């Protein structure tokens, strides 16, 4: 059975890189060796593996990679630090336009 991994690297300037591979150790080594000059991590070496998840289905791994890439830095850090209780709260929309802040117009004003 082939395994796939979604991984998070912390780059030298403190940004995060999220990727997918079937060999985490080899892929981290490639990032640190500068295997691909076009890679995001090439000018941000050295990188450090700070998180990984294992999958048996490549499509699940791809979906998870896309999901994590959309997350805020704070939510990615909660995942890295395994602060599971924070993940749901960080997923909530808290901006002014959220439905949670909607106040319907006063019926009497009409």
Contacts by 17-24, CB closer than 8 A, 24 or more apart: 17/41, 17/44, 17/47, 18/65, 18/68, 18/69, 18/76, 19/65, 20/61, 20/62, 20/65, 24/49, 24/52
Q: Is the pLDDT of residue 93 over 90?
A: no
Whether 33 is covered by a domain: the verdict is yes
Total tally of structural domains belonging to the chain: 1
The CATH code of the domain that includes 87 is 3.40.1440.10
Whether 40 is covered by a domain: the verdict is yes
Please indicate whether residue 69 or residue 94 has the higher confidence score (pLDDT): 69
- Per-residue pLDDT tens for 63-89? 999 999 999 999 999 999 999 888 877
- Mean of pLDDT over the chain: 90
């Amino acid at each position: 059975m082939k395994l796939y991994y979604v991984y998070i690297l912390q780059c030298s300037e403190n940004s995060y890189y999220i990727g997918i591979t079937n060999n985490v150790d080899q892929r981290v080594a490639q990032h640190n060796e500068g295997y691909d000059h076009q890679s995001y991590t090439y000018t941000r070496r050295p990188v450090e593996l700070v998180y990984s998840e294992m999958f048996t289905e490549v499509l699940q791994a791809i979906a998870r990679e896309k999901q994590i890439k959309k997350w805020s830095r704070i939510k990615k850090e909660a995942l890295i630090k395994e602060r599971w209780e924070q993940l749901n709260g960080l997923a909530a929309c808290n901006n002014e336009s959220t439905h949670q802040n909607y106040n319907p117009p006063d019926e009497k004003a009409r």
